[in-house]
Structure 1
């Protein structure tokens, strides 16, 4: 069966399910979508700046679909093959005996003990389903439990419905290490319990530059023990294709929730919740899209460092769109959204950030080590960004050494004591337009940064800040 025929079949089967579209505007402070955006406060210029309007492309559809028996040459029931569904005897020998080519492996309802690695390096069209199956393991085993692919001779892999139970003390091996050339599908996989061994969580990758993959509704809410630098979900440096994470939940990991920044291939994060992870909750490098994602930090566990929301690590062609970030309580944090020194260009738009944790920035764009991208007039574009909350101290938005930064349609309202609004340092050829900034400190601070300023409302509330009479309305 040809690869092209398979792609058409998968696209047809995906059908009208579609993917999450762009959000119309920013969410409210309670997390619900806004019906308007900050741009409605002012009238846009009638002239079009082509350098500004050239957008980072949004996420594209992945050609993957749920596995069905008719798509495989054979269907194997692991219990019929000798696996114990009571969790008393390891199923490793049963799994090792399977012929995995063109095979759908079914786990009937039950509990399955796996105390060794199940490695399959080469296969074509392997499916694993078990919507009522729970996988357990033994203490101090590092995994991976399922190590599937890891070579150019593995393609078309689907894993769906499994639950991994790590509630037993000193358990938490890597559940899935899945790397294929093309056609990766993971959906409705859940991990229960904390990773309390020195091992990271999931790892996914698509090695063919034309390959695609999708991870849907992955649930990892219980995180990792802070004495280990565990990562929730990792996309490695062997990823060259395009993988999407849709509607996932990852929370409580000390060293990144979703860590996708080493990957040279495209990574899109669409929807989902990422909560209380250290280092960053969502971490990507270009090319990448982070769209409709909710990030919340409200629990400051000792040993969980630098609780950033969304971290844009490096490269170009990065888009953050329609996201909601809330920073209530943190151990420490560089910011709700950060642009690292290695990032060349990005667009951040239609996004709402609430900061109540004192001293934490809503956005920090750091000095670029490799210079900014020359592909467009404004390499860094921040548009229709709402920032609110009661954080005291520091500044809401910091732009440092970023020549060619566009700040357009901002609404900043920070009521904590001694809070500045927008600070721009050594960033030539930049612009601040059609924005409202209301803070207790200085609304706009510039240092060696002549700004093109248009249609601004700047107000200092004094200290302590008091908001009244509709001042600070970002609706």
Structure 2
């Protein structure tokens, strides 16, 4: 047939599954699926059966390049694909694949709890396209379950789209690690995936979609997630949910969902014959003792990746009724994630034991292999958020922020009358709340705008005049009078600064921790900076051009700063350039970018007189030679580190290849075992 292009994938030829490949549309014979490069298989309505291996491999296996399968019916359910018995994958593509299409068909797990589950592992460097695909039937637990959909884009610039993929249960609800859940995007995803108009409901074990632990990004648009265990939807910082509905309402979930304690005896016997002896994991012991993981609505956790950014936009999150008293929150931002936005979102919690929004403490990681977000990205940003419900906020509050410094709450309305308070910011510093919203956590309705001001102090412990500048929100300048005759300070739109006489202190009021804070003399040489009573972290030193330019722009006389009564400069050198930066100052505050970086190290002393008499730059040849030697030494060190890094990457690649090979061998052993059991059953 003629070439065809669908969803951006160019196919060389199109074949008819029945007429050209001989597939049986009645499910009489297992299908044989070719995987040639550039091949699109069009499948007419019917029921098609493939041979289940019981392993991770399936009829579509290996490297796929511009390969696709597409149903030609009016509805996805017109073309049904199922296993002949054992649970297995249908598609198991390698990481070197590129351009995979699955469209307009249905995969059917069947009505058994102990076999028939179908998985699809769609791994590619670029170009995964899944459109209008239904996943039908029941989903079991380990060892009979399979991840229904595992897409992965392995290249940072690669993209994929999952559109109108639907899986709505029912499932067995057992604990984390005891069931594969609806789908997942895992560690080796480095590109971007878009999930659009998907519906995932009634998935047990590892939840609806487990999509947080990877260095890539994901965007969910107009999706529905309902009644899934562990997390109704699990993602992470760096990814986004837009206009999605997230609901846990166990009383209105699928009537055939089963908790482990509800599994029929005959099914329990089959599971327990395959499970390990009881240990401290959910994967072991009698299945009837396995407990569901618990309740989260939206769970953001990048775990070991420690990511930041992204958020939740225009969504509705509801916790109406639950099957377990275990859980964290309707929206839980894990300790590993930060700089997350929650905007234009409605949260309802009608059960006890769960805050509506809980942003956990980045300073205290839950597991040893988890990584906190960057130090400057612990904050969250809540805007136009409505929180309500009859829940008690876990005895804490409707919204709980733990060490989420410099967070902002704007137009946040909390109405949870059974919670002790509306918002609990704990030890979070510099939180700005300017919402004017209703906080009814204590049972009283009140309109209020809340700021959390802190003292920002600069103390000059030297015998010389000092200068400082900073950037912060909600700045109120000092108004005290010093022994020098008055506070010499300046406030602008983004912060402030000033001149300090010896032993003088300036106290500002701010509502966020200061950024781009510079002092001269440098902090540690005599200017002490504290915020909220605590010492500020390391600050950039300020070069002479910085304070001279700022002093003049703020109307101070440079003479006020350049010399004290003894005639010395602040650094005590007695000269006019001892504090100049050793590099350029393109990064200082004068260029408007506010990053406060002076661009180089400071010279400790001036060049000795006469050493540079023949050097027009004023730097002696000996100094130049010393600097060149230092550069050569640093270059050699960088080269050595680069070689070591390259060797480590090579070793890691070789190890991963060994692991992949070992996994393949294990799958082959599993497949051989299944074949032996089948032959024994057939021939005794």
Q: Shorter-chain-normalised TM-score: which range?
A: 0.7 to 0.9
2:426 equivalent in structure 1: 425
2:529 equivalent in structure 1: none
> In 2 relative to 1, CA 440–310 (structure 1 residues): closer, same or farther, beyond 3 Å?
closer
1:364 equivalent in structure 2: 358
1:16 equivalent in structure 2: none
**Cα distance, 1:273 vs structure 2:** 0.5
2:435 aligns to what SS in structure 1?
strand
**Cα distance, 1:89 vs structure 2:** 1.7
The structure number with the bigger radius of gyration is: 2
**Cα distance, 1:450 vs structure 2:** 8.3
> In 2 relative to 1, CA 288–222 (structure 1 residues): closer, same or farther, beyond 3 Å?
same
Which shows bigger deviation, 130-139 or 210-219? 130-139
Alignment of 1:192-271 (within 5 A): 192-196=136-140, 197-227=144-174, 228-254=178-204, 255-271=206-222
> In 2 relative to 1, CA 402–418 (structure 1 residues): closer, same or farther, beyond 3 Å?
closer
Q: From 297, 301, 305, give the equivalent of 2:293.
A: 305
Q: From 384, 392, 404, give the equivalent of 1:402.
A: 404
Kept in 2: contact 1:278–1:305 (CA 8 A): yes
1:328 equivalent in structure 2: 320
Which shows bigger deviation, 239-248 or 302-311? 302-311
For 1:72-130, what per-residue CA distance to the aligned partner results, in whole angstroms no more than 9, with x for missing partners? 22111121212111112211xx21xx252111111111001112311332232112101
1:83 aligns to what SS in structure 2?
coil
Cα distance in 1 between the residues matched to 2:361 and 2:109: 42
How many correspondences in the alignment?
377
> In 2 relative to 1, CA 443–236 (structure 1 residues): closer, same or farther, beyond 3 Å?
farther
Cα distance in 1 between the residues matched to 2:116 and 2:391: 36
Cα distance in 2 between the residues matched to 1:366 and 1:119: 42
1:104 equivalent in structure 2: 40
> In 2 relative to 1, CA 443–233 (structure 1 residues): closer, same or farther, beyond 3 Å?
farther
Kept in 1: contact 2:110–2:117 (CA 8 A): no
2:18 equivalent in structure 1: 79
Q: Residue 386 in 1 paired to residue 386 in 2?
A: yes
2:332 equivalent in structure 1: 338
> In 2 relative to 1, CA 343–442 (structure 1 residues): closer, same or farther, beyond 3 Å?
farther
Q: From 111, 130, 155, give the equivalent of 1:186.
A: 130
Which aligned segments of 4 or more residues in structure 1 are displaced greater than 6 angstroms? none
Kept in 2: contact 1:428–1:450 (CA 8 A): no
2:382 aligns to what SS in structure 1?
strand
Kept in 2: contact 1:414–1:440 (CA 8 A): yes
> In 2 relative to 1, CA 327–292 (structure 1 residues): closer, same or farther, beyond 3 Å?
same
RMSD: 2.5
Cα distance in 1 between the residues matched to 2:23 and 2:170: 29
Kept in 2: contact 1:271–1:294 (CA 8 A): yes
Kept in 2: contact 1:231–1:257 (CA 8 A): yes
1:158 equivalent in structure 2: 101
**Cα distance, 1:161 vs structure 2:** 1.0
Cα distance in 2 between the residues matched to 1:371 and 1:379: 12
Alignment of 1:447-458 (within 5 A): 451-452=452-453
For 1:179-213, what per-residue CA distance to the aligned partner results, in whole angstroms no more than 9, with x for missing partners? 11111100111011111233332111011111100
1:278 aligns to what SS in structure 2?
coil
**Cα distance, 1:418 vs structure 2:** 4.7
Cα distance in 1 between the residues matched to 2:123 and 2:425: 43
Please list every run of 5 or more consecutive structure 1 residues that lacks an aligned counterpart in the other structure: 1-8, 11-63, 455-475
> In 2 relative to 1, CA 421–99 (structure 1 residues): closer, same or farther, beyond 3 Å?
closer
**Cα distance, 1:304 vs structure 2:** 3.3
Which has the higher relative contact order, 1 or 2, with Cα contacts under 8 A spaced 6 or more apart?
Answer: 1
1:100 aligns to what SS in structure 2?
coil
Kept in 2: contact 1:422–1:443 (CA 8 A): no
Cα distance in 1 between the residues matched to 2:399 and 2:441: 14
1:429 aligns to what SS in structure 2?
coil
2:640 equivalent in structure 1: none
1:437 aligns to what SS in structure 2?
coil
2:368 equivalent in structure 1: none
1:120 equivalent in structure 2: 61
TM-score (norm 2): 0.52
Cα distance in 2 between the residues matched to 1:222 and 1:172: 14
Please list every run of 5 or more consecutive structure 2 residues that lacks an aligned counterpart in the other structure: 53-57, 252-257, 260-290, 366-370, 455-473, 475-684
**Cα distance, 1:283 vs structure 2:** 1.4
